[in-house]
Structure 1
Amino acid sequence: MKFTDGHWQMRPGRTAHYATQVADIREDGRRMTLYAPVRRIAGRGDTLNGPLLTVECWSPAEGVIGVRTTHHAGSVRRGPDFALPGAGEGSGTVRRDGTVVELRSGELTLRVDTAAPWQLEFAAGGRVLTSAGARGTGFVTDADDRHHMLGQLALGVGELVYGLGERFTPFVKNGQSVDIWQADGGTSSEQAYKNVPFHLTNRGYGVFVNHPGQVSYEVGSESVGQVQFSVEDQSLEYFVIHGPTPKRILERYTALTGRPALPPAWALGLWLTTSFTTDYDEATVGRFVSGMAERGIPLSVFHFDCFWMREYQWSDFTWDPRTFPDPEGMLARLRQQGLRICVWINPYIAQKSALFEEGMREGHLVRRADGSVWQWDLWQPGMALVDFTSPAARDWYTGKLRTLLHQGVDCFKTDFGERIPTDVVWHDGSDPERMHNYYTHLYNQAVFELLREERGEGEALLFARSATAGGQQYPVHWGGDCESHFNAMAESLRGGLSLGLSGFGFWSHDIGGFEGTPTPAVFKRWVQFGLLSSHSRLHGSKSYRVPWDYGEEAVAVTREFTLLKHRLAPYLQRAAQQAHTTGVPVMRAMVLEFPDDPAAAALDRQYLLGEDLLVAPVFTDDGTVEYYVPAGTWTNFLTGDQVTGPRWVRERHGFHTLPLLARPDSVVPLAADDQHPVSAWADGIELRVHAFADAAERTLVVPSPDGPGQSARFHVRRQGGRLHIGTDSPHPWRLRLRGPDGPVLSHPAGTREAVVPYPG
């Protein structure tokens, strides 16, 4: 929210109060509390009739410093609050040197000079990262008695800001006004399904605003040298998180707010859906499934979208008997073909649903202040909302889903959760404004924990649209409703990369676009992009997304890239494990992998899939693509062609190739089985070695679907004109030294060491 009218004046009706100095300080060795008047104190009389801000500073984890500024501490805090599983006490130490007081945590230091004008200075590595200066700490009131706490942190020259959730606006957030407020706005506006009050910059730090309600950001868009964030509240809490690298920032942020669960490996395969408003029944589903098999396109998951239930009755979690008279038998038949099953759900109950009367009678639906059930006619006639703040309502809702799991369903697409009213009363007394964003967290958490309980650790999986901070713990998330053209494909990628820089490890999107019908060219290019994403789903709105509807070449492209993704499964599973243990996403913005390369700072049309494969999707009808190649010799994984960077490249690709480049000195594992995403990956594994420099070495871990204890390890080292390979794998393995068509060196089971010529 903008409060000022230019640099000098306030907007009409607004009055600002900023911390001006430290009037007093309390220390306990681990924390410090600053007392800051909002006007200069020259004598005792100045201490009367004016606000005094309380600024608490502490460290919840190494390399993280929290700041909580409070005006009136007596306000009622009704919640909800973000859970911070990684927060603790005692990570910082306070020391005083004359008038300077410092709070240190790891390499991060908060420095305050109590004798100088107000400034909170955050430093690490011998340099100042950012600071809250003359207008950096305070509050603003308006003519309607609304009270906004605000913080401002300085931006340095050339400093760029990323994150704030899955945002489809420009990738670099400088110059933007951003409201952290859940909305169902598609992918072509400033609204977002996944709003996260966390940003990081290219100067070695990130900032998490610990407030689940509306947080308004002005990112160099009000005061051009500042990131401002404000909330309508009496206190404002934020954490400065040191890196220094972007990866380390994400590690610390996700350690604080929760790391992503590890999705089951079967989810890496291709998903196909019925689409949204299309006509379908079991015969349609059978035709789709058999059609994929007949065309040699392996399918892993089949998804039933909304109309598996009867119209006007979403959600009652009952199969439409007109089109699915034998749901248990149908699901059993699909599972016999090796498929997993996903069904669409949402947290809304239509008035015609049998569950409406039951939920209203038992108090499971959100109510207005007068005790009536909140309802409206958007989406579903007479729609009500499940109150997940009630343990009984949560158990009631998940009990209905449990029945579906026992029928043979494996996972749920948890759609919606954004349009949450603020004129309601919650069971636990939560603040409606704070609950608007947080509702999706309770919704997805309830469903995910049910799946974990029923299916076991490592088998729980959602396909979720909405989220906020901490929601990364319940993967996977997809990008929402996009159009079916190249611009929408590019904006979807932009949103996914932004989400990845907000702590989310896994992300997908509707291959082919959701609204409208893609041209064959768009479909084929989107298939390439989709099958080089962490998770891959064909889905549409009013038209099907079966490949043969888009021509025989579309069938061939879908088959080729599905088989490629299956072969890449051990590589992708390793990247998934890294996301699970470190918070670094599978799909990585270039700035995440190359933070010291200025050319990578604003790239949003290419990404790293895992740590070693650069993907540049094609967004043009004629196959022209421009992309940036960082330093070193990169190898096209599909053609074997090499390109040496740093440089920009302009190429034209047919529908069977795209820029998919292997990193210099990389070793990429390929499974022998291209028909399934889950196989005995180490058995017959192929190792592709790319542009290994002399003295380069890499250790490669090939994961096992049976758990980390069954992993195989390979160590590859170049010495002169030879490669030395050592492994603990008892399985046969192969080595490919030159591109996809180069010679293959096969090694029988039990070969633990090999030395092969490598001319380079």
Structure 2
Amino acid sequence: MLIKHLPCGLSPYYDCGYQRTPHYPLKNEKVEINCRIEHLPENADVFIQWTLDGMEQERIKGTRFSRENDDRAYFSFNLGPFDQPVHVTYKIIAKASDAEISTKEYSFDVLTRIELTKPELAGESENSIWAVYKYGENYYSIEAAIQNNLLRLSSHSGQKPAAINALKKTNGYEYKNDEGYSVKVSENPFGICISKDGEEIIEISEKNMALALDVDAAGNVYKVGQTFRMQGKGFYGFGEKFDRINQKGLAPKAFVVEKFTNQQDKTYIPMPFFFTEKGYGFYRDTSYRSDFFLNPVESTDLVDVRIESLCRKSGLLFEDYIFLGKPSFVIKEFHKLTGAPALPPRWTFGPWISANGWNTQSEAQEQIEQLNFHSIPATVMVLEAWSDEETFYIFNDAKYELGDGGKSFKFEDFTFEQQCKWPDLKAFTGMLEENNIKLILWQIPVIKYIEGNKDNQLFNDESYVIKNKYCIMNDDGTPYRITDNWFNNSLVLDFTNPEAVEWWFKKREYLLTQLNVAGFKTDGGEFIYDSSARFYNGKDVEEMHNLYPNLYVGAYNDFLKKHLGEGNGVTFSRAGFTGAQKYPIHWAGDQLSTYSELRGQLTAGISAGLSGILFWSFDIGGFAGEFPTTELYIRSVEFAAFCPIMQFHSEPRSGQFFLTEREHWINDRSPWNMARVNKDNRILEQYRKYANIRMNLIPYLIEEASNCVNVSRPMMAHLIYDYPEDENVINIDDEYMLGRALLVAPVIKEGQTERSIYLPEGEWYDFWTGERIDGGKAIMYPCALDRIPVFVKGGSLIPVNLNEHYIMGETDKTGFVGNNTDEYANLCFLVYGEGECSIKTVGSESTIKVRAVGSKIDIECSPEIDADKVTLIFAGDNYKVQDVIVNGGKAVTQPITAKVFGRAVPGYAVKLG
């Protein structure tokens, strides 16, 4: 028998069947305790043994209940309600004729909700306004301080704050700036009013928005709640959201969740952060779960934003930051508080290839051969099924002598027989290098549980980890094991323990130093469930659940930096939390091959960007389920080609939703396999076209990525970022700017051959035809299956890399430009009206600056330039050039004709030297 009970449950989004509800009960709330018992004998007696404030109570017999599609034994016990703040302990016991088992002892405190309405003391101290409340013998305070367009609100509990002794009575405080912002803080009653150009945009008042605390009998705080009345039609951020970009009227939660497909309101990367079009943003600096309720006030643009957060029992309860400025200012200031974004390596911006089924050297090499045969570029290969599926650091089929758990292997410790899955890894990695393809390997932060496991390296590692407490531990000193679902019963590495981190990466060091691995796909990290688990740093799961993915991914980033140098390696991660921008890149996780999931992926990418995650990706054609149709596959290829990162991937061949018949056993979402499965060569042609366009755009993508990092701009930016004063963009949810120059409008509806597109004020050019279009309006745009709507902002010069024939955008092999991102075949600039562009040359600090003014183009090179020429291509309609100047002198030019998306486009090859 095994009793499973998890007081906090697996997720706030669903009932797992063996949780306590509510987790933290209030007075007069009924408490339901549920459990699941596996291998329960017939006629077993199941009951709960419990105490109330230390006094034994009559045991309660469990009531059995069933769950849909689940034949396991579930039991429920009802306690309470309790009309006083009491302390309860309990354990669940199952007794059969020949055996008896029991859970460990659990406990909870019945809480009282108090609302702080009238401060005992209020005043100014050291440039802050304080309000101090007293309940029983405990003090609770709110401090408000503002500096440089940043308002900080913090709340503490416990002893009377020392600063209160120096409080000075004032008539409140007012802050004003030259941008039209006013912040008024009143003392008694305590309140805050923020205005922009005379319009009130945020109000916090005691009258109807009192600070609410859930406290136990001793005054310890478990949850804090507060309501802000805010102006705004659009509420953006909250992390990577799949349900809607504008979260107004919804209830997002800041809680990391592992959800396989159909994520809807759940997310792998939540953040307690948002902003509106009204010129402000909000961030709650906590890793505890926070729930937001965005309740619109009828017939107004007001929203009552209710925030409820778990918190430390005493000391700092919460710390909020309100940013006063446009979205660009808000995200930049948010990054200043949570960590500067990092720039991925150049090679990450080319196409990636991946599939869970590539588990042998021959199959992996076959993909490279297919790329070359079809003239399809790729710069990254991701291998998921490369390892022994036990240690996740040893290649499958490797022969070696077992070592104790502390041993770190080198490549020469392994032998590979000719008939094994990876007979010649050096030859394989050499093949990748010859083709300018980087290798990324899949990882998971667990010591895997396998029933009956012994006499192997995994068993030795597991024993060593438990002995040295390198895994997360329970509060009773036993090792924490994943409670349910994916990697059930496995140990989880504790990344707060420096010795554990060193042990973990010593075992993986040879992958970087001897096999030229360039990065890791850092999957998972969402499975820290049990509130009784404790980390090496002393913190509990409530504080660490959301932080764990960042700790895990951050440790891998440090490992890569140590061995490959700054900016040379990368992680590709599913989960994260506030600060995830420090560890690029992230992808959208697991989705089905459906249009609704493609819609969710677009929403996720845009909302992730609005939450400060600059570099994001998704699985072309979907990860799981039935194969995508030709139309769905091509539409997702088009979208991916104009995303920060372009990659395809697929589920294991055994299937999680779709166990394929033998003919379709190879379920890769590669274009050659999809063309085979769907018997449609258009898939190959369109993938080749868009993958080559992707490689053509590498100079633009790299330059824009660098700018994004420098100014904290999302590489995939919702139009509200650049046009916050344009009310037309507030609820647009299917357009974005890729960098500063390209407006992208993916086609995400089945059968759609035209769509409405809003172009903000200004001059725009059709990327495909060069046609000039005036903005400030919506247009209907035809979008045949081979074309995604893309527009170039007027005045843009787009740096591109074209092959020797100056061909861009063909479906055949003539547009191939190769895989090399370290040098360009022909650095060209697509000119769309008057404007300028600067680009750093590859491998040096030299800069080429191109400026188009009137009929003249100026090119400045500084300092010396390695390249001997650049090419100007006049891609926009009606732009004529008479003079080209290089470093102040008339340039030597040679007329050329480029073939751009089937058009013959004139240009000049310009000699630089």
For residues 252 and 128 of structure 1, what CA distance do their matches in structure 2 show? 22
CA-CA distance at 1:397 after TM superposition? 1.4
Q: Secondary structure at the match of 1:511?
A: coil
1:487-502 correspondence to structure 2 within 5 Å:
487-502=596-611
**1:218 pairs with 2:296:** no
Stretches of structure 2 lacking an aligned partner (at least 5 in a row): 1-11, 14-25, 30-110, 399-419, 451-457, 654-666, 676-680, 804-816, 894-913
**1:112 pairs with 2:189:** no
Q: Cα 1:754–1:131, aligned 2, differ >3 Å: closer, same or farther?
A: farther
CA-CA distance at 1:582 after TM superposition? 1.7
Q: Which residue of 1 aligns with 2:837?
A: 700
Q: Cα 1:175–1:11, aligned 2, differ >3 Å: closer, same or farther?
A: farther
- Which of the residues 520, 523, 526 maps onto 1:412? 520
Q: Which residue of 1 aligns with 2:243?
A: 169
* Amino acid across the alignment from 1:528: E
Q: Secondary structure at the match of 2:517?
A: coil
Q: Cα 1:423–1:615, aligned 2, differ >3 Å: closer, same or farther?
A: same
Q: Which residue of 2 aligns with 1:45?
A: none
Q: Secondary structure at the match of 2:689?
A: helix
Native 8 Å contact 2:884 2:890 kept in 1: no
CA-CA distance at 1:751 after TM superposition? 7.6
Q: Cα 1:648–1:105, aligned 2, differ >3 Å: closer, same or farther?
A: closer
Q: Which residue of 1 aligns with 2:150?
A: 64
Native 8 Å contact 1:634 1:642 kept in 2: yes
**1:727 pairs with 2:870:** no
Native 8 Å contact 1:606 1:615 kept in 2: yes
Native 8 Å contact 1:627 1:649 kept in 2: yes
Q: Cα 1:652–1:206, aligned 2, differ >3 Å: closer, same or farther?
A: same
Deviations 1:206-247 (A, max 9, x none): 111011010111112799731111212354434334342111
Q: Cα 1:629–1:240, aligned 2, differ >3 Å: closer, same or farther?
A: same
CA-CA distance at 1:652 after TM superposition? 3.3
More displaced 10-residue stretch of structure 1: 231-240 or 431-440 = 231-240
Deviations 1:377-432 (A, max 9, x none): 63336411001111111111122222211222110000000111233121121121
Q: Secondary structure at the match of 2:359?
A: coil
1:567-586 correspondence to structure 2 within 5 Å:
567-586=696-715
Deviations 1:53-84 (A, max 9, x none): 3112235x732221112233599xxxxxxxxx
Q: Which residue of 2 aligns with 1:716?
A: 852
CA-CA distance at 1:325 after TM superposition? 3.3
TM-score normalised per structure 1:
0.86
Using the aligned pairs only, state the percent identity. 23
**1:463 pairs with 2:586:** no
Q: Which residue of 2 aligns with 1:255?
A: 336
CA-CA distance at 1:616 after TM superposition? 0.8
**1:140 pairs with 2:213:** yes
CA-CA distance at 1:599 after TM superposition? 1.4
Q: Secondary structure at the match of 2:573?
A: coil
**1:245 pairs with 2:326:** yes
* Amino acid across the alignment from 2:487: Q
More displaced 10-residue stretch of structure 1: 631-640 or 285-294 = 631-640
For residues 741 and 828 of structure 2, what CA distance do their matches in structure 1 show? 16
Q: Which residue of 2 aligns with 1:271?
A: 352
**1:648 pairs with 2:778:** yes
Q: How many pairs align?
A: 707
Native 8 Å contact 2:114 2:215 kept in 1: no
For residues 784 and 763 of structure 2, what CA distance do their matches in structure 1 show? 23
Q: Cα 1:66–1:446, aligned 2, differ >3 Å: closer, same or farther?
A: same
For residues 508 and 622 of structure 2, what CA distance do their matches in structure 1 show? 28
- Which of the residues 280, 283, 286 maps onto 2:359? 280
* Amino acid across the alignment from 2:309: V
For residues 362 and 422 of structure 2, what CA distance do their matches in structure 1 show? 10
1:274-423 correspondence to structure 2 within 5 Å:
275-276=355-356, 278=357, 280-305=359-384, 307-311=385-389, 313=390, 315-321=392-398, 322-352=420-450, 353-354=458-459, 355-376=461-482, 378-380=485-487, 382-406=489-513, 407-421=515-529, 422-423=531-532
For residues 569 and 291 of structure 2, what CA distance do their matches in structure 1 show? 34
Deviations 1:250-306 (A, max 9, x none): 111111211211111111011101x22x3631111111111011101011111101x
CA-CA distance at 1:464 after TM superposition? 0.6
* Amino acid across the alignment from 2:710: T
For residues 242 and 272 of structure 1, what CA distance do their matches in structure 2 show? 40
Native 8 Å contact 2:388 2:394 kept in 1: no
Native 8 Å contact 1:265 1:705 kept in 2: no
For residues 483 and 499 of structure 1, what CA distance do their matches in structure 2 show? 20
Native 8 Å contact 1:19 1:118 kept in 2: no
More displaced 10-residue stretch of structure 1: 405-414 or 371-380 = 371-380
Q: Which residue of 2 aligns with 1:5?
A: none
TM-score normalised per structure 2:
0.72
Deviations 1:79-131 (A, max 9, x none): xxxxxxxxxxxxxxx9999512236789665422235x331123455543312
Native 8 Å contact 2:883 2:890 kept in 1: no
Q: Cα 1:139–1:705, aligned 2, differ >3 Å: closer, same or farther?
A: farther
- Which of the residues 536, 546, 556 maps onto 1:437? 546
Stretches of structure 1 lacking an aligned partner (at least 5 in a row): 3-9, 38-47, 76-93, 693-697
Deviations 1:568-595 (A, max 9, x none): 1121112211221121111001111211
* Amino acid across the alignment from 1:54: S
CA-CA distance at 1:450 after TM superposition? 0.9
Native 8 Å contact 2:280 2:330 kept in 1: yes
* Amino acid across the alignment from 2:545: H
Q: Quick one: higher RCO (CA 8 Å, sep 6+), 1 or 2?
A: 1
For residues 704 and 414 of structure 1, what CA distance do their matches in structure 2 show? 32
More displaced 10-residue stretch of structure 1: 510-519 or 618-627 = 618-627
Native 8 Å contact 2:222 2:310 kept in 1: yes
CA-CA distance at 1:733 after TM superposition? 2.3
More displaced 10-residue stretch of structure 1: 215-224 or 619-628 = 215-224
Q: Cα 1:363–1:111, aligned 2, differ >3 Å: closer, same or farther?
A: same
Q: Which residue of 1 aligns with 2:278?
A: 203
Q: Which residue of 2 aligns with 1:91?
A: none
For residues 73 and 318 of structure 1, what CA distance do their matches in structure 2 show? 57
Native 8 Å contact 1:569 1:670 kept in 2: yes
Native 8 Å contact 1:631 1:646 kept in 2: yes
* Amino acid across the alignment from 2:516: G
Deviations 1:435-475 (A, max 9, x none): 11101111011000111111111213110110100111000
Q: Cα 1:589–1:529, aligned 2, differ >3 Å: closer, same or farther?
A: same
For residues 503 and 375 of structure 1, what CA distance do their matches in structure 2 show? 33
RMSD: 3.3
Q: Secondary structure at the match of 1:499?
A: helix
Q: Secondary structure at the match of 1:285?
A: helix
Q: Cα 1:111–1:538, aligned 2, differ >3 Å: closer, same or farther?
A: same
Native 8 Å contact 2:697 2:801 kept in 1: yes
Q: Secondary structure at the match of 2:252?
A: strand
Q: Cα 1:146–1:239, aligned 2, differ >3 Å: closer, same or farther?
A: closer
Q: Which residue of 1 aligns with 2:117?
A: 20
